[in-house]
Structure formats: C-alpha cells, structure tokens
Amino acid sequence: MTDHIQFSPDQEALVLLDQRILPGREEYFVCRNTQDTIYALQTMVVRGAPAIGVTAAYGCYLASREVDPADAQWKARLEKLLKDLEEARPTAVNLRWAVELMRKAWHALPDLNLEALRAKWLEMAREVHAEDIEINKAMGRHGADLIDDGDTVMTHCNAGALATAGHGTALGVIRGAWEQGKKIQVIANETRPFLQGARLTAYELHKDGIPVKVACDNACALLMQRGMVQKVVVGADRIAANGDAANKIGTFGVAILARHFGVPFYVAAPASTFDLSTPTGAGIPIEDRTPREVTHVGEHQITPQGVGVFNYAFDVTPAELIAGIVTERGVIRAPYVENIARIIGGK
C-alpha cells in the first residue's frame, strides 16, 4: 500500500487517505496549503512518525507556494509557516527532522529565488517520500531474521504502511518474515483511544492476507501468560541517544509484560526517528491530546458528563527492556549509548 500519500501535480496538492475513518470508508483528504497540512497532522488524517515526516516535507513545499516573491518579507513569512508546521505535533521527531532538512537546504543556498526554492523543495519532498519506502524495506530485511517460523508476533498501534510511505517499520519486519515464507500470526493490540491497532493494523494486514487477530489492550498479560506470544515488534516516534523509545501509549506496559514473561521485545524505526540531542527518554515531550478521544466513541459519549480523563498519547519504554532496535542500517543492540552513537551518529 503506497497510494495513501500522494502528491498531485494537477491539483498542486497533497492527497492523503483519511485514516480517521478507516476501515469503514476509504476517502481522501486534500491539503492545498500549510493550514490544511497542520490540520491533517493534528487530527490524524495522517499519523505515524515516518508518514508525518513525509507529509511535513510536502507541507514545506505547500508553504513555499503561499508566500509571494514580491513581498519583501517573504522569507520571514515562510519561516513562520515552517515553524507552525514543525510544531503541529510534539512527540514524533520525524516532523522536526523533515522540516529541518528542508530548512537546511534553503539556508545552504541563501540566494535561491522563491521559484527555484519551490522546485528544489518539491524534488526533495519526492525524494523523502520514495526513500522512506526503501528504508522500510531494508528494515524489513534486517528484522525478518529475528522472527521464527511459527511465531505469533504482537504489535501495538500501527507501525505499518499507513504510518510510513509504505511497507511499514514494525509491520515491515513482519512483512519481511512473511516474505521469507515463515508461517506467522500477528496479534494487533487494539490501541485505545484512537484504535490504530484495531482499525489500521488489522486493515492493512488483512488486506495483504497476513493472519491477524485483534486483542483488547488489557488482554496482553493473559495472552503472554498462556504462551501465545513469541515476539513483540513495535514502532517508535522518537528514540533518545540512550535507546529509550517513545511510542504509542500502552507500549511501555507491553514491554514490562514481555520482560516478565521472557518474550523478546523489539523496536523498529528509521535513523530519522533517533534524536541524539535528547540524552534520555525523560527529555521526550509527550503529546497530551483532546479529552474527546477518551470520552467518546464516535459521536457517543461513554464517560459521565463532567468527569476528567487522561489522554497522554505516548509513553517511553526504557532501553533496558528492548532486545534490539531494527533500523535500515541493521539491528542495534545494547550497549545502546555506544552503538547508537556509532551506527546512527556515525561516531
């Protein structure tokens, strides 16, 4: 699945499969400017760290179309749009990574006129988009060897094709094992409150014919206690320099249970998800989303009127619970500080 993020040259717009209404309806949301793109990111029309990065790269191009070369202030106005875009969601570092990539290319060529900058950014956004699929396939090849024939693999949230430009990170590893001919099964934790597991992971694996069952988030301990899970593979939104990994709320609990029951717990993420400027997971900002995602299922309110809720969207799994981090450059193992600095930081 790769048509969920498309740039339409005819419409001069970014066209996104609307993940808010999957699997019931397959409809597209069109972003024509920065505001549309920020709206799509914040309401999770598009979500998942690498997909957020690809969207942001096209968002920079759309921003460049909104400023007027005749305006003496166009550079300042463009920078403001980039800043707004970069701050659309706080946890997935791929958002900042993509905007920073575009910004650096712009600042490296300060004399570029706006027309030339637009052309450069569209070309760069297309490259980020195409490269992400290749990166995920490489991750799938490296990670496939961690999965044995006959394994049942648990995953949390959606780290699949929909969360990336295609193929997926955690689901890329699962697809890699499946393509090797291994007979595997997948347990998709439903992932309250946005239900990325129940709606999106189940949707894309089922579409590809990979056996998948959805489990309530709170079934994890029972399933592991009964020996029904051999591996866990999840994605990440940001990985600190010491290997602590932020991912969808609930991931940390799955990792603790996996340690308790002796189930290897792996994270799969591209180099762009590492944030070497953040030493440990304690420095990763955790998104606090609208209460409505918890108080309502669709239009239906499930909590008493006036009762407060928590809606932290992510948690941080300490590196000590992670058996390995699958990247496009290979599988990183402990000691994480040294190995991440060498493999990701090039030190």
What stretches of 208-322 show up as alpha helix (H) in DSSP? 220-225, 251-261, 292-295
Question: What Cα–Cα distance (Å) separates residue 247 from each residue in 110, 155, 273?
Answer: 37, 11, 11
231 known member of a binding site: no
Residue 260: is it exposed, middle or buried by C-beta count within 10 angstroms (0-12/13-18/19+)? exposed
Sheet containing 274-275: which strands, arranged edge to edge? 274-275, 238-240, 245-248, 314-317
Name which position in 40, 49, 128, 340 contacts ligand MRU (CB under 6 A): 49
Q: Which of 313, 316, 321, 322 binds ligand MRU (CB under 6 A)?
A: 313
What separation in angstroms does the CA of 165 have from each of 29, 55, 74, 189? Answer: 16, 9, 31, 22
Q: Which of 247, 278, 295, 327 binds ligand MRU (CB under 6 A)?
A: 247
One-letter amino acid at 301 equals Q
CB of 332 to ligand MRU, least distance (A): 16
Q: 261: exposed, middle or buried (C-beta count within 10 Å: 0-12, 13-18, 19+)?
A: middle
Across-strand partners of 301?
Answer: 296
Residue type, 186: V
Cβ proximity to ligand MRU, 47 vs 192, nearer residue? 47
**196 lines the binding site for ligand MRU (CB under 6 A):** yes
Q: Binding site annotation covers 32?
A: no
Cis peptide bond N-terminal to 335, omega within 30: yes
With respect to ligand MRU, which residue has the nearer C-beta, 49 or 258? 49
Which residue in the shown chain puts its C-beta closest to ligand MRU? 235
Please say which residue, 118 or 248, places its beta carbon nearer to ligand MRU.
Answer: 248
Of 4, 34, 47, 143, the one binding ligand MRU by CB under 6 A: 47
Would you say 64 or 273 has its CB closer to ligand MRU?
A: 273
Q: For residues 119 and 177, what is the distance between their CA atoms, to the nearest angstrom?
A: 39
3-state helix, strand, coil in the chain (%, to 5): 45, 20, 40
Q: Using CA atoms, how far apart are residues 259 and 61, in angstroms rounded to an integer?
A: 44
Catalytic residue among 237, 244, 275, 315: 237
Mask: binding to ligand MRU, 127-166, rule CB under 6 A, as x and -? ------------------------------x-x---xx--
Strand 238-240 with 231-234, pairing: unpaired
Q: Contact region for ligand MRU (CB under 6 A) — 100-108, 229-237, 326-334, 336-344? A: 229-237
Closer CB to ligand MRU, 64 or 191, in the complex: 191
Active site residue 237: yes
Helix residue ranges, H only, 43-113: 49-66, 74-86, 93-108
126 is in an annotated binding site: no
Pick from 48, 90, 243, 250: which binds ligand MRU (CB under 6 A)? 48
User: Is 89 labeled as ligand-binding?
Assistant: yes
Binder among 60, 176, 248, 316 for ligand MRU (CB under 6 A) = 248
Binding residues for ligand MRU, how many (CB under 6 A)?
Answer: 17
Residues annotated in a binding site: 47-49, 89, 196, 247-248
Active site positions, annotated: 237
Q: Could you list the residues that contact ligand MRU (CB under 6 A)?
A: 47-50, 92, 157, 159, 163-164, 169, 196, 235-237, 247-248, 313
